[in-house]
Structures are given as structure tokens and as C-alpha cells.
Amino acid sequence: MSLQSEFKEIAQTGGRAAMVTVVAGDDDVLGAKLLVRADGEASGSLGSPELDARGVDYAEELMWAERSELRGDLFVDVVAPPPRLIVFGAVDFAAALCRMAKAAGWRPFVVDPRGRFATRERFPDAEDVVVAWPEKAFAQLGGIDRATYIAVLTHDPKLDDAALTAALASEAPYIGAMGSRRAQEKRRERLVALGISDDQLARIAAPIGLDLGGLTAEETALSIVAEVVAVRNGREGGRLSAAGAGRIHEVGT
């Protein structure tokens, strides 16, 4: 199978990869291609070890940023599946969050070891509902990669702490946790007692969501989805009218 055919197949099956192509320079390397897969494995060559190394670096960066770009004499073409939002806790808010995430083009999953709550009937908008404890559930979902965002909605300390501990051991770019500020402080004390460091604790967005002043389940879900979208795009989530100069929407160079 050619590199181009494999890249096309990865795209058609919802995989993640980057095709790096030489688009300027000497004729003997013009059009040379390097395919970099999600696990970092690469095939092909751009003409030299130095250029290959640069191509792999660009591919690794951009395939997880989920955008294609021209980088000097190299064009990096990226394919990636929609990002995942793993919602831990089969609570009422979770149903609204799945609806909102799906409407935004994300793939929501619900995880909860309590089978009487975690049912397909309660969460029809979820891609899957996994009845298992966090570590087992995350393994069942293929692990937590750099395109997996996690929202912990349960108020049960046993479930809460297990989910956050597993999430903090991963590469997840976003880990949010619901709860009042008093509940957050108690959770922090428990996690510190479990050996979680301050640097790890700083990764938890708590209370979860942007400050929209929402009260209903749908408004709360909107604030959470708004926050994960902002994090995915490297933004703070403030009002555009107060953003000042610069582009409203980022574009590739």
C-alpha cells in the first residue's frame, strides 16, 4: 500500500496521522512524503535524516493540535477523529453534557461503575456507556490520549478520587471536576493524602466550566463544553468584545 493510500485509509476509518510533503526546494526532493502515525511510527522519507526529524516534530505537534499547516518548505496535512469527552458520573447533568458535546461535534462517553445509573436509555447521545471503575473503563476506551478531555461530575468521594487519580496519570489536556468550593477543598485534601502533588492538582479545572452564571443542567453543560473548546483551541474563554486586536479565529500559516 502506498503512503497516500494508507493516509486515505486512516482518514476514512477515523484515525489520526500526518502526511508531511516537501513543497519547495530542490527538484530531487520536491514531492517527497513522510507519513507519521499517532503512535509516532513514520514511513517514507523527505530526503535527509535532518528533514525527516523536522517533519516528525511538526507532525507530532500538529496532529494533536488537529490542524494542517505549511511550515517553511514542508506542508503537514493532518487527519484526526473528533475529540473525545469522557464524562465520569452517570448523573442528570451528564445527559445534558452529552447532548451539548455531541451538538458541538465531540464524541461523548459516560463512565460509571454503578450499572443501575449508567444505562444507554439514560444517555442516548453518548457514543458509549461504560460500566466500570475508572482505570478499567479508560483501558476499555483505548486509554486517554492528548485528544481526550475528562469531566468528573460525581459527588461520591470514592468515585471522584478514583477518576481524578486515573486521569492525572494520563496525557489528558483537560481534567474538570464539579463541586462547590468547599467540596473542592475537601477533595484537594484527600488527593494530597493520596500522594498527588501540587503540580498535578493544578491540572484540575475546578469548579468545572466557564463562569456563565448558568443554573439549569443545559446551561451548566454549555459552560463545560465552552471551557473544553477554549482549552482545545488554546484560549482563555473570555468575551470577544474584550479580546482587543488580533485574529478572532486562528488560521494555519
- Judgement on whether residues 63 and 154 belong to the same structural domain of the protein: no
Residue 249 pLDDT? 52
- Judgement on whether residues 52 and 99 belong to the same structural domain of the protein: no
Identify whether 240 is part of a domain.
no
Cβ atoms of residues 23 and 74 within 8 Å: yes
pLDDT in tens, 7-51: 999 999 989 999 999 998 887 889 999 999 999 999 999 999 999
- Judgement on whether residues 103 and 221 belong to the same structural domain of the protein: yes
pLDDT tops 90 at residue 239: no
pLDDT tops 70 at residue 243: no
- Judgement on whether residues 227 and 113 belong to the same structural domain of the protein: yes
Read off the C-alpha cell for 153.
Answer: 461530575
Domain of residue 74 covers 3-79
Identify whether 244 is part of a domain.
no
Q: Which pTM value belongs to this model?
A: 0.83
pLDDT in tens, 184-229: 889 999 999 999 999 999 999 988 999 998 889 999 999 999 999 9
- Judgement on whether residues 88 and 69 belong to the same structural domain of the protein: no
- Judgement on whether residues 75 and 102 belong to the same structural domain of the protein: no
- Judgement on whether residues 74 and 92 belong to the same structural domain of the protein: no
- Judgement on whether residues 146 and 222 belong to the same structural domain of the protein: yes
Nearest 10 degrees: Cα torsion 58, 229, 134, 110:
-130
pLDDT tops 50 at residue 103: yes
Number of domains within the chain: 2
Domain boundary among 63, 79, 95: 79
- Judgement on whether residues 54 and 94 belong to the same structural domain of the protein: no
- Judgement on whether residues 67 and 152 belong to the same structural domain of the protein: no
pLDDT in tens, 44-93: 999 999 999 999 999 999 999 888 999 999 999 999 999 999 999 999 89
What pLDDT band is residue 250 in, cutting at 50, 70 and 90? low
Identify whether 117 is part of a domain.
yes
Identify whether 110 is part of a domain.
yes
N- to C-terminal Cα distance for the chain?
Answer: 31
Q: What burial class does residue 149 get, using C-beta atoms within 10 Å of its C-beta: 0-12 exposed, 13-18 middle, 19+ buried? A: buried
Helix H or strand E segment including 44? strand 42-44
Identify whether 253 is part of a domain.
no
Identify whether 191 is part of a domain.
yes
* Distance between CA atoms of residues 167 and 146, nearest Å: 12
What pLDDT band is residue 235 in, cutting at 50, 70 and 90? confident
Residue 245 pLDDT? 52
Residue 66 pLDDT? 87
Identify whether 241 is part of a domain.
no
Enumerate the H helices of 13-156 as residue ranges. Answer: 49-65, 92-103, 134-140
Q: How far is CA 239 from CA 79, 105, 236, in A?
A: 30, 22, 9
Q: What SS3 string covers 15-35?
A: CCEEEEEECCCCCCCCCCEEE
- Judgement on whether residues 94 and 54 belong to the same structural domain of the protein: no
* Distance between CA atoms of residues 203 and 56, nearest Å: 27
pLDDT in tens, 128-166: 999 999 999 999 998 899 999 999 998 788 899 999 999
* Distance between CA atoms of residues 129 and 111, nearest Å: 6
Residue 28 pLDDT? 84
Residue 253 pLDDT? 43
Residue 3 pLDDT? 94
- Judgement on whether residues 49 and 114 belong to the same structural domain of the protein: no
Identify whether 246 is part of a domain.
no
